[in-house]
Amino acid sequence: MKVSYFPGCTLKNKAKDLDLYARRSAEVLGVTLEEIENWQCCGGVFTTSNDEVATKLSSVRALKEAAAKGQPLVSVCSACHNVIKQTNHAMQNDAFFASKVNNYMGQEPYAGETTVYHYLELLRDVVGYDQVKAKVVNPLAGKKIAAYYGCLLLRPNSTMQMDDPENPTIMEDLIKAMGAEPVVYARRNECCGGYVTMENPEFAKRKSLDIIENAKAAGAEVLVTACPLCRYNLQKAGTDMPVVYITELLAEALGVKEVTNEQ
């Protein structure tokens, strides 16, 4: 099957691995990620104020492009996904906001028809983790992997609707499907410090260290995330805990990590 794909600014730059391994793994699983034409940066964070219109238009454009093709819209970056899903939710539920957007854009009105998936949801709900498991050629047996959700994947839960926001399993179940052992720890859905790392790196470091120490105490050997900013903050904390993208492990398990002739 084909789905519309919104990579986002960071996956074209500092987080190329997140993008590359997501595409390759999807192909193995029978899904082609078709990049939206002329997509624009989502802005990184959703602005909750209902009088903010311009900051949400790039998401609406991407959503409309997917709607025109009759495809769901997928992103793998947790931040892009959060912004796009919250924008879609606002288009569905806030008639005043939606009318402002539609008046401005002036073409076919859009009312939130597109289904928005995070890559993990695509794997769990469309492909199915049993299918993922069936395609694993290189099981990550014996690896103790701790999923780091952070904030953006799960919250606000009323909109994201991905999993139980306090006791999620979507990443742990994927880790199991890849043949590894998930490590559950308390701080997996607490914030790493996010963008505050720009002007206050020490603060972000404290937040990230709390997370890493907690995961380590639970027996984790490696942390996985789907967010480039989480990965950056966790790595900058300066511990010896490896932090990798979930798509990189997936590509390894599916046996496509080392392919070099990518499109």
Partner 1 sequence: MSSNKKFLQEELTRMSGVNPKKCMKCGKCSGTCPAYDEMEYHPHQFVSMVESGDIEPLLNSKSLYRCLTCFACVDRCPRGVEPAKLVEAVRLVAVRKQGANHMTANDVPAMLDDDIPQQAIVSAFRKYTK
In the complex, the residues that contact partner 1 under the rule CB under 8 A are 8-10, 13-15, 41, 43-52, 55, 77, 79, 150-151, 154-157, 165, 190-191, 193-200, 203, 207, 227-229, 231-232, 235-236
> Whose Cβ is closer to partner 1: residue 9's or residue 140's?
9
Q: Which is nearer to partner 1, 108 or 199 (CB)?
A: 199
Q: Which is nearer to partner 1, 43 or 182 (CB)?
A: 43
Letter for the amino acid at 159? T
CA distances from 162 to 57, 103, 207, 240 (A): 23, 31, 24, 31
Shortest Å, Cβ 214 to partner 1:
13
Question: Closer to partner 1 at the Cβ: 154 or 253?
Answer: 154
- Nearest-approach distance from CB 97 to partner 1, in angstroms: 11
The least CB distance from residue 248 to partner 1, in Å, is: 16
Min CB(60)–partner 1 separation in Å = 16
Of 41 and 137, CB closest to partner 1: 41
Give the residue with the Cβ less far from partner 1, 219 or 242.
242
Q: How many helices (H) and strands (E) does the chain have?
A: 11, 8
**Do you know the residue count of the chain?**
263
- Nearer residue to partner 1 within complex by CB, 143 or 187: 187
Give least dist CB 38 to partner 1, A: 18
Task: Find tokens 């959060």 and name the residue.
Answer: 82
d(CA 9, CA 77): 10
CA–CA gap between residue 67 and residue 171 (Å, rounded): 28
Nearest approach in angstroms of CB 257 to partner 1 is: 21
Per the DSSP assignment, residues forming a β-bridge with 224 are 147, 244
* Locus of tokens 């395609």: 135
**Cβ 132 to partner 1, closest distance in Å?**
27
Cα separation of 100 and 109, whole Å? 11
Tell me the chain's radius of gyration from C-alpha atoms: 18
CA atoms within 13 A on the CB side of 121: 21
Query: Residue 113 is which amino acid?
Result: E
Report the distance separating Cα 246 and Cα 172, nearest Å.
11
What gap in Å lies between CA 123 and CA 144, rounded to an integer? 21
